[in-house]
Amino acid sequence: MNVNQLLEYAIQEVKELNSGEVFLVRELFKGYLWNRIPRKDRLLLGTLFLNWTQQKANIVTPINKTSSGQQKYQKI
């Protein structure tokens, strides 16, 4: 999967979440699938997902970051 396909997958998974749920992008993927994505692609995916939430998404809002610097999101 390329990064754009991963972004589309993540967006589809967000639709399955309940309103008010807090999540990390990595939690939208099964563990083994996330681990197979190269680190550079995971970083790019995080950036693309954040941009999507700020520009196009009206169902997800970025909230705060974890102690390890991962962006947390909440479904509206």
* pLDDT (tens digit per residue) in 43-64: 999 999 999 999 987 899 999 9
The per-residue pLDDT for 53 is 94
Domain that holds residue 44: 3-75
The per-residue pLDDT for 1 is 86
- Residues in CB range of 69: below 8 A, 6 or more apart: none
Predicted structure pTM score: 0.92
Average pLDDT on 29-34 reads 94
6-33: b or e for each residue (b if 16 or more CB lie within 10 Å)? bbeebbeebeebeeeeebebbbbbeeee
Q: How confident is the model at residue 29 (pLDDT cuts 50, 70, 90)?
A: very high
* pLDDT (tens digit per residue) in 3-13: 999 999 999 99
- Which of 68, 69, 75 lies closest to 13 in space, CA to CA? 75
Tell me how many domains the chain contains.
Answer: 1
